[in-house]
């Protein structure tokens, strides 16, 4: 794994086993299952390893939510799976639906750390990224690490400067309460207090000219009319002149 084996897991060959009393829970976004990025196969679940988890002691108490960092697809074997709807995992996060994968001591959290390299895993990750469906519990300044490591795990490279990802992240991450404002322009103290928009929705929040030149025409017209930004571009001057 990218950051080593956590202390609550123990290695058993190529597998990682939960090694504490109590319960370990993965919070897998339901959207992963909807889009085929998480698949149930008998007792196993094949899922993208970008999600949150919590460890509960025998009294049902947890020290809080943490991020699981395994930015590729892996196989896991929970003893139980539940659904949880319209839940905010953190105060700053929008409500989402989740599948809870549950593990007791001795259960296999990662069936094999030697995951096969597969370029389609990169395509799937990038599609999730562009659709704005990555968990917003990821700090804004760490998002590019996930993109780079996802490529590394699958034996490929984007072949571009990392600043390109910064440009995308900079326009897709918006103020939680005002999508017309980029998150980078806010006086943020919490690096997870952002809303991550699908790339196709971003133009309508930038300016009317950006909106009407985007591919999503129906939303573009509405966005151009309703956009409160009063910045006038050369294109607008030309069209209105």
Cα 147 from Cα 212, distance rounded (Å): 30
| Cα separation, 78 vs 99, whole angstroms | 11
User: What pLDDT shows up at residue 3?
Assistant: 55
- The pTM of the full predicted model, rounded to 2 decimals, is 0.81
Per the structure block, which two tokens stand in for 227?
Answer: 């956009």
> Do residue 93 and residue 205 come from a single domain?
no
94/177 same-domain check = no
pLDDT for res 201: 85
pLDDT in tens, the chain (241 residues): 555 788 899 999 999 999 999 999 999 999 999 988 999 999 999 999 999 999 999 999 998 999 998 999 999 999 999 999 999 998 888 889 999 999 999 999 999 999 889 988 999 899 999 999 899 899 999 999 999 999 999 998 888 888 888 999 999 999 998 988 999 999 999 999 999 999 888 877 765 555 555 555 555 555 555 555 555 555 555 444 5
Domain assignment present for residue 62? The answer is yes
pLDDT of residue 111: 97
71 and 23 both lie in a single domain: yes
Note the pLDDT of residue 159: 83
Asked if residue 47 is part of any domain, the answer here is: yes
Minimal CA–CA distance to 48: which of 121, 102, 132, 152? 121
DSSP string, 19-78: -SSSEEEEEEEHHHHHTTSEEEETTEEEEEEEEEEEEE-TTS-B---EEEEEEEEEEEB-
Pair of tokens at residue 48: 């993208």
Final residue belonging to a domain, choices 110, 130, 161:
110
Whether residue 142 is found in the same domain as residue 175: yes
Q: Confirm whether 2 is domain-assigned.
A: no
Same domain, 51 and 68: yes
Tell which of 110, 135, 150 closes a domain.
Answer: 110
Structural domain count, the chain: 2
Cβ neighbours, 10 Å, residue 216: 16
Contact 170, 196 (CB under 8 A): no
d(CA 77, CA 178): 40
Q: What is the pLDDT of residue 231?
A: 53
Is residue 203 located within the same domain as residue 234? yes
Whether 230 and 128 share a structural domain: yes
Using CA atoms, how far apart are residues 97 and 108, in angstroms rounded to an integer? 24
Tell me the two tokens of residue 202: 């971003």
Residue 74 lies in a domain: yes
- 152 and 234 inside one domain: yes
Residue 181 in any domain: the answer is yes
Note whether 139 and 94 are same-domain residues: no
Judge if 132 and 106 occupy the same domain: no
**By three-state DSSP, how is residue 100 classified?**
strand
Last residue within a domain, chosen from 61, 93, 110: 110
CA distance 228 to 214: 18
Which residues are CB-contacts of 51 (< 8 A; sequence separation ≥ 6)? 26, 27, 28, 29, 32, 67, 68, 135
Q: Which two tokens stand for residue 6?
A: 């956590």
Residue for token pair 């892996």: 74
Report the pLDDT value the prediction gives residue 224, as an integer from 0 to 100.
53
Task: For residue 196, tell me if it sits in a domain.
Answer: yes
d(CA 10, CA 109): 10
Task: Give me the pLDDT at residue 227, please.
Answer: 54
236 and 123 both lie in a single domain: yes
Task: Looking at the structure, tell me whether residues 217 and 124 fall in a common domain.
Answer: yes
Q: Tell me, yes or no, whether 171 lies in a domain.
A: yes
Burial call 109-120: b when 16+ CB within 10 Å, e when fewer:
bbbeeebeeeee
Q: Is residue 3 part of a domain?
A: no
Range of the domain at 56: 9-110
User: What is the predicted pLDDT for the residue at 234?
Assistant: 53
């Amino acid at each position: 794994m990218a950051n080593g084996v956590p202390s609550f897991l123990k290695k058993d060959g190529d597998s990682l086993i939960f090694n504490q009393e109590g319960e370990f829970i993965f919070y897998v976004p339901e959207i992963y299952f909807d889009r085929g990025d998480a698949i149930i196969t008998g007792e196993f679940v094949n899922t993208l390893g970008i999600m949150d988890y919590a460890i509960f002691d025998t009294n049902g108490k947890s020290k809080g939510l943490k991020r699981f960092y395994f930015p590729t697809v892996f196989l896991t074997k929970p003893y139980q799976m539940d659904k949880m709807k319209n839940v905010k995992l953190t105060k700053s996060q929008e409500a989402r639906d989740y599948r809870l994968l549950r593990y007791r001591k001795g259960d296999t959290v990662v069936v094999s750390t030697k995951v096969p390299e597969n370029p389609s895993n990169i395509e799937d990750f990038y599609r999730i990224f562009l659709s704005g469906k990555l968990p917003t519990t990821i700090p804004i300044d760490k998002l590019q690490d996930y993109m780079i490591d996802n490529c590394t795990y699958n034996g490929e490279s984007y072949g571009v400067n990392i600043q390109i990802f910064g440009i995308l992240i900079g326009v897709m991450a918006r103020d939680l309460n005002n999508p017309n404002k980029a998150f980078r322009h806010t006086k943020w103290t919490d690096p997870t207090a952002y809303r991550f928009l699908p790339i196709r929705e971003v133009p309508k929040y930038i300016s009317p000219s950006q909106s009407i030149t985007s591919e999503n025409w129906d939303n573009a017209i509405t966005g151009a009319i309703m956009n409160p930004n009063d910045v006038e571009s050369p294109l607008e001057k030309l069209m209105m002149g």
